[in-house]
Each structure stands twice: as C-alpha cells, then as structure tokens.
Structure 1
Amino acid sequence: MFDQPNCTIIPGDVPSDAGIAGAGVLLASTITAGLALSLSASMVIQEIWRPSDSRTRNLSVIRRKLLNGYSDQQIMVGIGVQSVGLVKSNTLVPYHFFLIWMLALLSMATHNAALLALVQDFKRDWVLRWLRQLLMFANLALSCVYGIYVLQSKVKGLPNTLPIGCVWKLDSTTSSVGGLDYVGTIVTIAGNCVVFGLATWYLQSRRQRFYKAVQIVGLILMSGIAIGATVRSYLLSQAFGNPDVKLSDEGEKQWSFGQLLSLLMLTLPVISAIEIMRGEIAVAPPLQDEDKQALFDTELSGNH
C-alpha cells in the first residue's frame, strides 16, 4: 500500500534528498552526458570528414564501446529515476519531482545523441533494435506523465512544500505563475514527442536520406537540450544553486556513499574499453552504407 499524501497541512519546510539532488548525483549525470556527447560528436565528425574505410572504422572501436555503454546507462537511468519518482509521488515535493524530470531529459538527450552516431551498430540485430525502441518509448511515456504532473502543479498553484501527488486533490486554482512557465512545460512535452518520432524514424528507416545533415542537426539539438536541462538543474539545486523551496537541512551539499557510488559507476564502460585495447574482447565493426539493404534482406530470410 502506498502512503496517502497529506494535503491538508502545509509545512514550512521539507527535508532534503541527496539521492535526487545531491552534488554527486548531479555531477555523475552531467559528466556522463558530457562524455557521451563528446564521443558522439567525434564519431559524427569522423564520418563526415574522413572516408569510411576499414582502418578508420577499426580506430573507432573503443569510442563506440564507451559510447554504447554510456548510452545504455543513460536510458536505464532515465527510466529508473522516473519510475521511482512516480512511486514516491505522494511524498516528493515539486522541487525534487522537477529535478528528476530534468535529469530524465538529460539522459534522453544523451541517448539520442548516441543513437545518431551508433545507428548502424543498433541496426545489426533487429531484436536489440526493437528492444531499444521499447526502452525509448517507456522513457517517453514516463516523461510525458512527469510533464503532466508539473503542468498541473503550476495550473493549480500547488504549494511547494506539499507532495506533488496533491495536484489531484486540489480543486481551486490559485496559481500565480507566469504564462512562460505554462508554455515552457507544454513545449517540453510536445518536443519530447517530436524527438521520439524523429528518433524512431532514424532508427527504423531502411533508407537514410540526408544522413549527414540529420546527424549534425540532431547532435546540435540534443546538445542544446542537454545543456538546458543541466543549467536548469544546477541553478535549482541546493548543492549548486538556490532551490525554490525551503529545505530543513543541507544534506544535498554533503557527500555520502550513494553519491560517491554514482561517480564510481562512470568507470564501468572504461573497464570494457581497456579490455578491448588488451584484445580480450572483440567488437564487430559498424555496418557500411552499402550493407543497409543486405541487413533487411537477412532479417526477412531469418539469418540474423
């Protein structure tokens, strides 16, 4: 049984939550996103400015392995933190709920940027491709639910010390928030749906038209979303900025085991890359452009 939110008493302050807005959690998310975006950009630039021969493809094996690891990590983090946040919606205040949404947007942008660079790797196996498509849809659905919660809290003027779950129990509209907040929230929800549609087309399309242009524009767009979500999170967090709610303690500024563990998790893809350098793991090269049609022929014939 989930705890029912107490929507009758408005507390003067709320406790901090280092597991959501702690310094280590925010740094781990932004460092991962920065590394993944840098790797994606380097691979896209290499494909544009250098011929796609066997030598250049072999040089990118380590970067592809690192990027694939960070990409998988980001999509799972986005789904995981949003799922936990919804389960705890009867206790989380809008401040922490909104930060989870921003971290999920950051993970979505990072994963989509990796998709632009690794699309040929993902197309090699149709099972893994559709599994990734399912994960992308789950992330989108959760993000839309979060956007609806945030929009309702602004429309109904939910006090920032009440749980976000109280938005469904308030009847009166006492909002004093400007129209820019409404427009920004709605645009974010709609933008997520548009980006998901474009990412689906890019991942599933048999013929990649304007391939390089899509990569460049998409990478710039995803980088802009990632930077915007990062700046908004840092400015709103207690660890690096000024929260819009009064917190009863400064736990989000302190370093705990959980926050250090988040940073240590960044080393897992690096270990795999070292194993590749030592020759202990073999990674197949990405598909060439001329292999695209053959890919779908093997899928139809059952030879994966």
Structure 2
Amino acid sequence: MLGSLECNVIPDSVPSDAGIAGAGVLLSSTITAGLALALSASLVLQGFRPLRSARNPNPSVIRRKLLNGYSDQQIMVGIGLQGVGLAKSHSLVPYHFFLVWMMALLSTATHNAALLALVGDFKRDFVLRWLRQFLMFVNLALSIVYGVYILQSKINGLPNTLPIGCVWTLKPETPNVGGIDYFGTIIVIAGNLIVFGLATWYLQSRGQCNPKIYKGVQLGGVVLMSGVAIGATTRAYLLSQAFGNPDVKLSDDGEKQWSFGQLLSMLMLLLPLISVIEIMRGDISVAPPVHQEDDKQALFDGELSDNPQTSSVHR
C-alpha cells in the first residue's frame, strides 16, 4: 500500500528515466520493430508471387528463421515491459507509465504481424503453438491491467507528478469522464481484446480456407498491425523528452543524453547481423574430437598426415 504522504504531497517536478524514455532505448525498440515488420510484410507479399528456382527452392528460409527470433523477442519484451511497469507502479509517474504501455503495444503489434507470416510454422508443433497462445494471453492480461490503471488515472484526474499507483487512493468529488485520452484508452483496451480473439482463431484454426481469402487476411492484418505500431511509436516519440514535449515537468535532461545503457541498446542491434551470417553459412561442420593419446603421438612423432582425426582438425 502507498503511504498517504506519497499521494498527498504533489511534487513540482519528477526526475527523468533514460532507461524507459531515453533516445537510445526508443530508437533501438523502433528499429527492431521496424525490421521485424518489414520481414513479416516481405514474407506475406511473397506468398502472392512465390519466387522459387532449382538452385533456391526455399528463398525465404533466412527471413523466416530471423523473424522467428524476432517474434519470440517481441512477445517477451511486451510481457517484460508491462510486468516491470506494474511492479514499479508505486514509483512510476503517469508519463513514464504511459510510455512503457506504448512500447509494449509496439512489441505486441510486431509480434502479431510476425504471427501472421509464421503461423504455418507454429501450427506444426502442438507444444510451440500452445506455448505461444499462453504467452499471448499473459501479454493481453497485463495490457488490460495496464490500461485500467491509465483509465483510472484519467477518471480521477491524477496529478502528473504523483506515482500512478495513487489512482487507488484518490477519491475525486467529480470523476473526469470524457475527453480524447479517456476514449482513446478504452479503444486501445477493446482493440487488444479483439485482436487477441482474432489471433487466437488464426493460430488455432485447422479448417481449410480459400487461399485468396487467407492471403487477404494476412496482408490486411500486417497492414493493420503496422498502423498500430506506427501510431504507438508516434505517440511515444511526441510525448518523450528526447524527441517531443512531455506532459510533465522533468527536473533534468537525462532522457536526451546518450548514456552507456542507451549506447549499449543501439549496439545490440548488430546481433541480428551475426544471426543472418550463421543462417547463411548453415550447419558448421565440426571435426570429430581427437583422442589425447593420438594427438600427443601425432604432435611429437611427425605423423600428422597419417592421423585422419588430427588431419581433419588442423587442416
């Protein structure tokens, strides 16, 4: 429970939090989501015109494997962001709390777009399909709770320098119902429920569908999820201190500065390049292990060329 002092004393300003709304954090999240959305769109569009040849019967293998990794990353990022945000509701002000929700919404939209492109891969394995379903449900539950916090802050007119957890202690005489933010929050919550229902049907459906309708659903879904991702990103950028105008007075400019953590977030974007190289190289052939006795004998009696095991290792 929050102390009365924390909710009754309204500060003039709040400190910045570069770990949530720093320039590097926002950029790295946006770039990662953009790459995943581009891969999803390319795979869906490829279905309208398959590009196959004798030399390359499956031209999308690299993109599919890379997108599979992005899909896992995005759903876990969405769960992690909202879980940590709710755990810190006693200290996060509505400004940071809302930015976390927008970044989580971006991750959710990116994951849904990847699901549209990779649904065939998930349906092949019973365990992976239901694991994905469970993670989607957890993400939805956290998103709804998050939305309720934000909606309650709008109704109670929570001062923007108080922790978001104070929404349960404030009792306004006249609830503030209405306005763009109020209805926008309700629309986002309802949209998450509808998208989850459609995604569940899409993932679990086993019935045969007209290929044209199926491809149309994929294309329309990717366009919709891309629009949601762009909307969430634009809202976060316009509200952030690093790129826009926050709706709360911050006591410092920490979110504009490139700290070690923000630079590290940008450097982590290089990891997918390593994954691409590994996928392109395929399975690396590893020579069989050399027995210690054979290795010592070969090294000291000059019989390297006569030992096939050591020859394959040192070749």
TM (normalized to structure 1)? 0.87
Alignment of 1:1-304 (within 5 A): 4=3, 6-50=6-50, 58-173=58-173, 178-209=178-209, 210-280=213-283
CA distance in 2, matches of 1:190, 1:125: 30
Q: Provide structure 2 residue ranges, at least 5 long, that are not aligned to the other structure.
A: 286-315
CA distance in 1, matches of 2:7, 2:54: 63
Q: Judge which range, 169-178 or 256-265, deviates more.
A: 169-178
Which of these two proteins has the greater Rg computed from alpha carbons? 2
Q: What amino acid does structure 1 have at the position aligned with 2:89?
A: S
Q: What amino acid does structure 1 have at the position aligned with 2:102?
A: M
Q: Provide structure 1 residue ranges, at least 5 long, that are not aligned to the other structure.
A: 283-304
Q: What secondary structure, in the 3-state scheme, does the structure 1 residue paired with 2:144 have?
A: helix
CA distance in 2, matches of 1:47, 1:23: 36
Identify the residue that residue 288 of structure 2 maps to in structure 1.
none
1:236 Cα shift? 0.1
1:56 Cα shift? 6.2
CA distance in 2, matches of 1:90, 1:241: 25
CA distance in 2, matches of 1:55, 1:8: 71
Q: Is the 8 A contact 1:69 1:269 kept in 2?
A: no
- Seen in structure 2, the aligned counterparts of structure 1 residues 57 and 247 have a Cα distance that, compared at 3 Å, is farther
- Seen in structure 2, the aligned counterparts of structure 1 residues 4 and 29 have a Cα distance that, compared at 3 Å, is farther
CA distance in 1, matches of 2:208, 2:85: 37
CA distance in 1, matches of 2:208, 2:231: 29
Q: Is the 8 A contact 1:4 1:90 kept in 2?
A: no
- Seen in structure 2, the aligned counterparts of structure 1 residues 3 and 52 have a Cα distance that, compared at 3 Å, is farther
Q: What secondary structure, in the 3-state scheme, does the structure 2 residue paired with 1:214 have?
A: helix
Identify the residue that residue 301 of structure 2 maps to in structure 1.
none
Q: Is the 8 A contact 1:155 1:173 kept in 2?
A: no
TM (normalized to structure 2)? 0.84
1:253 Cα shift? 0.5
1:113-153 per-position Cα deviation (integer Å, ceiling 9, x unaligned):
00011111111211111111111111111110110000000
CA distance in 2, matches of 1:145, 1:279: 43
CA distance in 2, matches of 1:66, 1:168: 43
- Seen in structure 2, the aligned counterparts of structure 1 residues 85 and 196 have a Cα distance that, compared at 3 Å, is same
CA distance in 1, matches of 2:3, 2:11: 16
1:178 Cα shift? 4.9
1:173 Cα shift? 4.5
The list of structure 1 runs, each at least 4 consecutive aligned residues, that deviate by more than 4 angstroms after superposition, is: 2-5, 51-57, 173-178
Root-mean-square deviation (Å): 2.0
CA distance in 1, matches of 2:274, 2:284: 11
1:168 Cα shift? 0.2
- Seen in structure 2, the aligned counterparts of structure 1 residues 259 and 220 have a Cα distance that, compared at 3 Å, is same
CA distance in 2, matches of 1:25, 1:174: 38
1:54 Cα shift? 8.1
CA distance in 1, matches of 2:108, 2:64: 18
Greater relative contact order (Cα < 8 A, sep 6+): 1
